Chain A
Amino acid sequence: MNAFIMPFLPELILLLGGLVIFVITLGDSLEKRARTAAITIALALLAASVLCFGQEAVLFDGAYRIDAFSQLLKLIISAGFLAIVILGGNLPDIRPAIKPEYHLFLTLSMTGLVMLVSCVDIITLVIALELSAFPLYFLVAMRREREGQRIQMESAIKYIMFGIAANGVMLFGFSYLYGLTGTTSLPEMMVKLQPVMHTPIAIVGLTLAFCGIFYKLAIFPFHFWTPDVYQGSSNETASLIASLPKVGGVAVLVRLASLASPDNTLIPILLSALAIVSMFYGNLIALAQKDLKRLLGFSGIAHAGYALVGFVAFNQAGFASALYYITGYMVMVIACFVVICRVSRDGSNVAISELAGLHRRSPLLALTLIVGLFALAGLPPFVGFMGKLGLLTTALARGHLALVIIAVLNAAIAIYYYLRVIREAVFGDDGGDQTPIVLDRSTQALCVLLIVAIIVLGVAPSPIINAISGSLAGLNLPLPPAAVY
């Protein structure tokens, strides 16, 4: 019994926690208790992920698998979840009456993400993908209404419409993959797909199946929602949407991409085209932005493009560098969003000009912002630099020279707008407003931890890269029959 429960501890904690918060939502004015419950769940989840590291088990006849890959990603996601709950603070831009519900949907979305990385069957994959997405649509719509801010419903509509459309395209692709192979299990599909991989229907099916993931990552044809949703949703929701689903998306993309055989030529060409368009589109439009969240939205499109560069190589090193990059991206973007959430007055959006004089108002926030943006810009010694280096070397090793040159060019464009934000924060005219921003203990700890993580991941990347590469080796292997419950 104990051996059965142990590997699934993170999922069970989230489900139990979801139930507890659901009970809390039934009472009146219990928002403090809901927040305490959410923090407890996040801490317990992190502890459980550490405890279950290295476990192996299989559920639902091989549709749901606990392996080294899933456990590593659960650890990363649960660390991100804890950061998101802490930076949410008292949720200043959500109506008090629905704050407990906000925490409920947050926990449910996290359940979906944690399950997503374990799915090795397209049925469970679709269920987990939807479970992680539906609560996010509500979180966007839950922002408070007030004068000059009536955009949240509009962005929620855009988010859900694009979400379902991408989902429909992905399901259509899955139906073709199923038709070709007669199975829904990814490891079996991989074996059966190899002989027919050159046929147009296989390539169309796989490409359409990628679309659902491209939406999560905000890659070019599915990026339209990104800036609008970032701008329209509350700061806390935007920081969630910007960080954790992308980690889940890359994890699923790794599982799906290993379906295609490495010597296929068409899919790498397609992926590199999408990567190039995403990078140029995101970076060029980000140059003109005034709202900090919108700027991060466009830069997010560009960063998804960088992560896609790792998939163009179509080998284990490429997948590992994409996962490393997106993990780093999660930490960097959360660091930037901590600053947005704390600088913002009563939860409204932050214009870049409002950052002026931040180093006088709160030195720690200014330092977090500078480290986060330098890392996003890809300057050494931060994680953004090592991540880009890894991606570019793997792409270069497979002979994609043009792609590498374009990516470097884009990194150069991106430095301009990141430095513009930093210049505004450090040298901007603050108009005499020097009221210090008071940070509570947990936020201070979070800022320090994020800064340390960005530097440590960048200076000593080998432990995490080795862990990722090691976990990738066991990916999509046929099931050991003894492990099936």
Chain B
Amino acid sequence: MNISLNHYLLLSALLFAIGFFGVLLRKNTLVIYMCLELMLTASTLALVAFSRYNGTMDGNVFVFFILTVAAAEVAVGLAIIVALFRLRQTAQVDELNALKH
């Protein structure tokens, strides 16, 4: 079977969907965080595939920047999750309900 651009795009859309619905449905902040990373991975996969089939390098360059941004995002996010856990002894989203008026 020949693997074409569409296969990559399908996989990327699937990854994005898994990430997106995971963010909406899961309750643990760490699992939500993994799903967010999955969303970013989906766009990097699409970019690399497009870059290969377009014949330009811009997409590949963009991927490097996205990876760096994602790494910074993890650092910031995990710092806040750890601080939250120290304060409240929980990482479950449904127990974060102090902000309902």
Contacts and interface: CB of A to CB of B under 8 A. Distances in A.
Contacts of B12: 175
A164 interface: yes
Interface of B: 9, 12, 16, 19-20, 23, 29, 32-33, 36, 39-40, 42-44, 46-47, 49-51, 53-56, 58-59, 61-62, 65-66, 69, 72-73, 76-77, 79-81, 83-84, 87-88, 96, 98-99, 101
B59 A127 contact: no
Contacts of B49: 179
Interface in A270-308: 289-291, 294
Nearest to B23: A165
Nearest to B62: A123
A447 B91 CA distance: 42
Contacts of A174: 43, 62
Contacts, number: 134
Given A130-B69, A153-B83, A231-B99, A178 B39 contact: no
A151 B43 contact: no
A138 B72 CA distance: 13
Interface in A148-166: 150-151, 153-158, 160-161, 164-165
B99 A183 contact: no
B26 to A, nearest CB: 11
7 contacts: A158-B99, A172-B46, A175-B12, A175-B43, A175-B59, A179-B59, A182-B50
A179 B62 contact: no
A162 to B, nearest CB: 9
Contact of A161 (B36, B56, B69, B101): B36
B66 A126 contact: yes
Contacts of A137: 76-77, 80
Contacts of B29: 157, 161
Contacts of B36: 161, 164-165, 168
Contacts of B39: 165, 168-169, 171-172
B23 to A, nearest CB: 5
A150 B87 contact: yes
Given A126-B65, A183-B58, A294-B101, A154 B84 contact: yes
A353 interface: no
Contact of A160 (B42, B62, B76, B101): B76
A122 interface: yes
Chain B interface helix/strand/loop/mixed: helix
A75 interface: no
Contacts of A157: 29, 80-81, 84, 96
A175 B39 CA distance: 12
A314 B69 CA distance: 32
Give the 3 A-B residue pairs with the shortest CB-CB distance, closest first. A168-B39, A179-B50, A175-B46
B71 to A, nearest CB: 11
Contacts of B51: 178
Contact of B46 (A141, A176, A291): A176
Contact of B40 (A122, A127, A168): A168
Contacts of A175: 12, 43-44, 46-47, 50, 59
A112 to B, nearest CB: 12
Given A150-B98, A175-B50, A182-B56, A141 B80 contact: yes
Contacts of A138: 76, 79-80
Nearest to A151: B98
Given A160-B76, A184-B62, A228 B88 contact: no
B101 A291 contact: yes
Q: In the complex, which of the residues B19, B39, B80, B88 has the most CB atoms of chain A within 10 Å of its own CB atom?
A: B80
B93 to A, nearest CB: 8
Contacts of A153: 80, 83-84, 87-88
